[in-house]
Amino acid sequence: MKIARFLKEGKLCVGLVDVEENRIYPFDPALSDVTDLIRATVWGSALQKPRTAPVALDEVRLVAPIVPERNVFCVGKNYRAHAKEFSQSGFEAGATKGKEIDEYPAIFSKPPSSIIGPGDTVELHPEATSAVDYEAELALIIGKPGRNIAPADAMDHIWGYTIVNDVTARDRQRNHKQWFAGKGLDTFCPMGPWIVTVDELDAKDIDIECRVNGELRQQANTRDLIFDIPQLLASISAGLTLQPGDVIATGTPAGVGIGFEPPRFLKAGDRVDVTVSGIGTLSNPFA
């Protein structure tokens, strides 16, 4: 199932999307938070198609499918080719030749204030940065809570998947010698267009593409992950309880702006489209 949040006549709603019909079926009008829906299904209520009158998708405005109650967990350098291009770009603080691939996942976060939805404008923040880059990523949504999750049990804790563009100010990422300063700016976490429930996707075989103004820049498959999803959940949950509604972005493949010579940073008027097989396309303009 595809679950979306949307605005209809100014009211925030949650609904089930039927892409073939180009319609969305609203859930209970009192439901506006997907985390509440996740908790309800985790605690025993089956997710079923709402018995409500559908609304045409082009009559509503989709917003970010979920805004977690705490920061988005993110993973860096999780595709080998990207780890190498980042290390060689001059924008990775402390990069060491021959040690491009990390022994453990690089984990950072983005605040909820950075989250925007499909079609929303990403601000370039010229007062803060001159090196804005894109990063196409598959993100997973936690359903069942857990701490010290074993890799063998990890998939039982996932409720669904969505798309994230981990927009990054490369100069701030380099200059501050850590990643939050370059990753956490307002509007720097486009997400959507919806969540696809875990039963509909095989996370071990998902294609990821990114296009800038129609030009293909990134293309990979989750088979290429250095640390797969069970490993990521085990690492992040070590001593830290993952909660329903937590979002984990799994890393970006090669082809980001800093991988070019010279770097190809985003500018006003650009549009970035991130497509993930089985989910759809997340599109955002930059201004």
Q: Residues 149, 45: one domain?
A: no
Single out the residue in 12, 32, 63 at which a domain terminates: 63
Residue 193: predicted pLDDT: 98
Q: What is the DSSP letter of 85?
A: H
Model pLDDT for residues 60-116, shown as the tens digit of each residue: 999 999 999 999 999 999 998 898 898 888 887 776 666 678 899 999 999 999 999
> What CATH number is given to the structural domain containing 178?
3.90.850.10
Q: Residues 57, 142: one domain?
A: no
Domain limits for position 16: 2-63
CA atoms within 13 A on the CB side of 242: 29
Model pLDDT for residues 7-34, shown as the tens digit of each residue: 998 999 999 999 999 999 999 988 889 9
State pTM to two decimals. Answer: 0.95
Model pLDDT for residues 240-260, shown as the tens digit of each residue: 999 999 999 999 999 999 999
Single out the residue in 14, 43, 63 at which a domain terminates: 63
pLDDT of 173 over the 90 cut? yes
The region of weakest confidence among 30-44, 193-207, 218-232, 236-250 is 30-44
- If we measure between CA atoms, which residue out of 198, 180, 189, 218 comes closest to residue 279? 198
Residue 96: predicted pLDDT: 65
CA distances from 264 to 120, 259, 278 (A): 22, 8, 29
Q: Residues 187, 215: one domain?
A: yes
- If we measure between CA atoms, which residue out of 81, 88, 80, 94 comes closest to residue 173? 94
Radius of gyration of the chain (CA): 18
Task: State the DSSP H helix or E strand holding residue 129, giving kind and residue range, or none if neither.
Answer: none
Instruction: Tell me how many domains the chain contains.
Output: 2
Single out the residue in 23, 45, 63 at which a domain terminates: 63
What number is the average pLDDT over the span 153-168?
98
Residue 99: predicted pLDDT: 66
Residues 201 and 172: their CA atoms lie apart, in Å, by 35
